[in-house]
Amino acid sequence: MKRWITEKFPALFFFTGLLAGAGALVRAARDTASPAFPMPAVMIGVYLCWVLLEARITFRTAGMQDTEDDHGTEIVYGLSRFATVLAALYGPLPDGAPLLATGPLLVLLAGIALRLVSIRTLGAFYSHRVRKDAQHRVATSGPYRLLRHPAYAGMILAHLGLVAYFLNPLSAALLLLLFVPAVVRRISVEEKVMSTVAGYRDFMASRKRLVPFVW
């Protein structure tokens, strides 16, 4: 049962999340009387486009065998993300002027861009599941010149933008108390695995994890 869950989780999570996002998009698009229209729908649409852009990696991960290296962090990380997004998109819709969405939208786009560039930089070595390839090499180009985990930094940044726009107490609490700690735990597990790769310890010593010059 455990093996079935870990192998099917990426695909199940993808389709469930896509359906939930589509429902939220329809809900926001129907709210034409709101002064904020159409920005809630735009924010959700951008988020769904991002999910689709990562679909290829999601299904490639689904085809991989689970490893002890992951320690179940993929599931915790995925569920915490899902809960945070669901609480944001299905909470009260914003009622301010569309211009107020500019800041959160730019943060969302910046996070997505950072993550996609990071994934592209890693190429075939990138996976949604913590694992070490026999041919693994340390990436030091692109955003990896400055950060050890720019893909996770982009993930957090994008969700900060989304939650900031659809702000409510539950989504904020889930982001700060569940999603971010899940990312930090995953980073800890990943670094233990990667520390055996040649050059990774030097890489760790010269770069911060998520925030340049801070942590």
pLDDT digits (tens, 9 = 90+) for 128-176: 777 666 567 788 899 999 999 999 999 999 999 999 999 999 999 999 9
- Give the span between the Cα atoms of 139 and 201, in whole angstroms: 13
* Lowest mean pLDDT across 15-24, 71-80, 101-110: 71-80
- Give the span between the Cα atoms of 204 and 183, in whole angstroms: 17
Decide if domain 2-205 falls under CATH 1.20.120.1630.
yes
pTM confidence score: 0.90
Give 5-37 pLDDT, tens digit per residue. Answer: 555 667 777 888 999 999 999 999 999 989 999
Q: Among residues 119, 96, 85, 111, which one has the least CA distance to residue 14? A: 85
The conformation of residue 33, written as its DSSP 8-state character, comes to T
Domain chopping of the chain, boundaries: 2-205
Percent of the chain residues topping a pLDDT of 70: 89
Q: Among residues 138, 21, 119, 7, which one has the least CA distance to residue 70? A: 7
Are 82 and 162 in contact, with CB atoms under 8 Å apart?
no
